[in-house]
Structure formats: structure tokens, C-alpha cells
Amino acid sequence: MQRPPTIVITRGARSVDRYRAALEAAGAVVCEWQAGGPEALAAIGDPAASLRSVDGLLLPGGGDVDPRLYGEDPRPELGEVDAERDELELGLAAFALTRRVPILGVCRGIQVLAVAAGGSLWQDIATQIPSAGVHRRDLPDGRSDRGALLHDVRIAGGTRLARLHNTPTLAVNSVHHQAVRDSGQLRVCAEAPDGVVEGLESGTGGFVIGVQWHPEELWEQDSRYLTPFIALVEAARLRMREGD
């Protein structure tokens, strides 16, 4: 009997419990690599050896990516950056993209994927895309409203994401002020009605999907949002069968 796939979640200071729960519901064994921790330092030093011990990679949400990593100076609206986490995630993402390790990026994760693939980001949607709609709604106590379905996304036909969800539109939550500007070597597979990029995937084979919304906050109320986690685990299981 084949063992369950092992998926690594990278993280900074924030909890990844919601991602862990979704992956475990999808059938994975989960391990966490904390930025600055021993596993993360080993992965930075030798991503090939570190990723050899896992079957897939999940890049979760979090703070902003340092714009200097894609050749821009920081704007005043830039939020908190974490150099250790940037180094870990960009290194792992770049290596995983070349070795076809299955990857799912969520929120910050889709942005990390874009930068690792040679792309760039809008540092602040509100000031750099004034015509954009609302992509973040905060509660009176300052917390982000992660459970509210804030807008639809249009999923491009013929893409992996379209096959997974089997619908041209999907209502999503939205908790971000940055977004993908240039997708680099990846292709755009979903957009908000205002044209802001909401989904990326590989067009050259291998399982690589990034979504700007937070399905880990929604799947317990609606199983459709567990779909990307199931797909990641299935891609990891397939890779296990085929061998690296």
C-alpha cells in the first residue's frame, strides 16, 4: 500500500493551521518549515536534498514580498517583509519549478511563484491600479474578513484550473493589497472582473497552480474550495508512483 504524500508548508510567523487542515482532509501528511528554522536553513543550503524528502510544496499567505527581489524600489505602501522567508520560498519555488515538484501557492504564494518564474508584482493595488475593485475588506477590529465572498474570478477556458473547477466563474474571498503584475514564465489562468490576476499555472507540464484567494478559509463550508488541495495531493501521489 502506497504511503500518503508528504506536503511541506513553508511559513513565517503566522499560523498555517488552516492550510494543514485542508491538506490533511485531502489525504496528505503535512510538515512545516519555519523560516529561519533548521529545516528551512537546510533547504536554503540544499533544496535538492530537502525536497527529495517531500512530495509537494504549499506556499501559503503572509506578508509582502520584497520588491528589490524583482528589481523595484519599495513604495511607501509596502507592508512588512521577511527576508528569511523570501529567501526560503523563492529558492524552493525556483527549484521546484525546474524539477516539476507539485506546487500550490495561495495569496502571497501566487506572488512568490510569479517572482520565482521571473515576473513582478503590483506593490499596492489601490495606488497603482486606481480603477481596480475592492480586493480586501477589513472588519471593525482591523482583522481581515477572510470568510466573505468578495468578488467572482473568471477562469480561462482550457486551463488546468478550469478543468479542476469545471466552471468559468468562481466566487472567492479576497485578502490582499498586492497582486501579480508580470507572470514571468507562468500563464494567467484566472482574473478578477477588473483584470487583476487571480490565478497562475504552468503551461509546460507539471502541477503548478497559484490562486490569489484563500480556499483554506472556505472549504469546510463548501467542498468546492478543497479542490486545489486535493489536486496538489493527487499530483504528489502521481509523482511518487512515477518516481523523481
Report, as residue numbers or ranges, the catalytic residues: 107, 214, 216
Task: Round to whole Å and give the CA distance between 127 and 215.
Answer: 26
Query: What are φ and ψ of residue 167, in 5° steps?
Result: -155, 145
Instruction: Please name which of 137, 176, 135, 138 lies closest in space to residue 153, comparing C-alpha atoms.
Output: 135
Q: Helices (H), strands (E): how many in the chain?
A: 8, 11
DSSP code per residue over 2-52: PPPPEEEEEESSS--HHHHHHHHHTT-EEEEEETTSHHHHHHHH-HHHHHT
Number of residues written out for the chain: 244
Q: Which helix (H) or strand (E) holds 180?
A: strand 179-182
Neighbours of 62 (CB within 10 A): 25
Q: Which residues pair with 154 in a beta bridge?
A: 169, 191
Task: Round to whole Å and give the CA distance between 194 and 199.
Answer: 14
Largest CA-CA distance found in the chain, in angstroms, rounded: 54
3-state secondary structure at position 198: strand
Task: Quickly tell me which residue has 478543497 as its cell.
Answer: 226
